[in-house]
Amino acid sequence: MTVICWALAGLASAYTVVRALGAERGTPLVQLITYTPYAAVGALLLGSLALVAPVPGLILAGCGVVLAALVAPRLVPRRRPVEGVRLRVMCANLLYGRNATPAFVDQLKIDDIDVLAVQELTADGLAALHDAGIDALLPHRVVAPAPGGGGSGLFSRHPITGPQTRTLEAIAMWQTAATVHVPGAGPVLIESAHPYPPRLGRVGIWRDQIAAQATPSADEPPRVLLGDFNATLDHAVLRGLLRAGYRDAAAERGRGLTPTWPLRTETLPFWTPPITLDHVLVDERIGVREFGSRPAGESDHRPVVAELVLPPA
């Protein structure tokens, strides 16, 4: 029993050091760090082994405390001024276009969405959104449909300029972006993000595509970057975007552990507990009034909705 306790303590210590230093590199560390909230709870529970093996049990409890301290700030709402012009945004991974349904478009009406960013937009999915009436709700758009999971789209109630479509390096994952002109506010740069997932042998591509995301600049209008990042805030590369001038809208409202994936499991070769892959990252000049998730429908991701507050013009 003592040997098992020491082995668990050693694994927990190594995990905690990697997470605390942001030192995850390659498989399986990148994948395992995704589950830091679960590791924190597990280590705290295993701390009860101190009753039979005091030293390794206390090490486990200490690891649990450190991991919990790294995760806990996402559950504490920030108290920041949120006065300005309202902008309601949603991001949604459509699962190869499958969730481009009338029910999904109805949800846009219910939430009074101003800007929608979608990932995994196919040509059939785009046609289905048209048939469901999205044109009447969000008439301004820039789209890059593609087979499989590489498509992207940005739909807006308000006029847009400078529409862009781009692919990130190595593997074609389309991203769409535009400057949205919101009445009463200055322009805002909005992009639908979808880095490649950290699959075996391709973790470097995943890391490079997250690091290549556009970051805020004082010389440009405020930015919003929203989508399926295939990463959680426990990944150092995603926290790097926060250091570059973004804030996570969910964490701003104390909802930073809202699970968004997987809501369907038939597309996976294995079971995984729910994790937070879908994010709304906002420029520090933008306030966050609300954040929430919505039913997944035919997708394996929950759409997420945020009510943002833009600086007045």
Instruction: Measure the CA–CA gap between 76 and 58, rounded to whole angstroms.
Output: 27
Using DSSP bridges, classify how beta strands 174-181 and 223-228 pair: parallel, antiparallel or unpaired: unpaired
Task: State how many domains the chain has.
Answer: 2
Domain boundary among 52, 75, 98: 75
Domain end: 21, 54, 75, which one? 75
> Residue 217's pLDDT band (boundaries 50, 70, 90)?
very high
Provide the strand spans (E) within the chain.
85-93, 115-119, 140-144, 152-156, 160-167, 174-181, 187-193, 223-228, 246-248, 278-283, 287-293, 304-310
> 103 φ, ψ to 5°?
-65, -40
**Separation CA 197–CA 193 (nearest Å):** 12
The Cα 190–Cα 140 span in angstroms is 13
- Domain stop point among 46, 75, 104: 75
Rounded distance between C-alpha atoms, residue 11 and residue 28, angstroms: 13
pTM listed for this prediction: 0.96
| Residue pLDDT, tens place only, 47-82 | 998 888 899 999 999 999 999 999 999 999 998 777
Q: Within this chain, do residues 22 and 128 fall inside the same structural domain, yes or no?
A: no
- Is the CB of residue 215 less than 8 Å from the CB of residue 245? yes
Domain assignment present for residue 35? The answer is: yes
Are 45 and 154 members of one domain?
Answer: no
How far, CA to CA in Å, does 237 sit from each of 22, 106, 138, 139, 232?
8, 35, 33, 35, 9
What's the burial of 13, exposed, middle or buried (CB within 10 Å: 0-12/13-18/19+)? middle
- The angle formed by the CA atoms of residues 106, 150 and 169, to the nearest 5 degrees, is 140
Cα separation, 247 vs 76, in Å, equals 14
Proportion of the chain above pLDDT 70, given as a percent = 99
For residue 170, the model assigns a pLDDT of 65
CATH number of the structural domain spanning residue 94: 3.60.10.10
Query: In the structure, what pLDDT confidence band is assigned to residue 31 with cuts at 50, 70 and 90?
Result: very high
Rounded Cα distance, 35 and 39, in Å:
6
Range of the domain at 39: 2-75
Strand partners for 190? 178, 224
Interval 94-101 mean pLDDT: 97
- Number of Cβ within 10 Å of residue 170's Cβ equals 13
Stretch 273-285: mean pLDDT: 97
The better pLDDT of the pair 169, 233 is held by 233
Q: Burial code of 67-98, b = ≥16 C-beta within 10 A, e = fewer?
A: bbebbeebeeeeeeebebbbbbbbbbbbbbbb
Shared domain check, 293 and 171: yes
| Residues 131, 253 within the same domain | yes
Whether 80 is covered by a domain: the verdict is no
Do 117 and 251 fall into the same domain?
Answer: yes
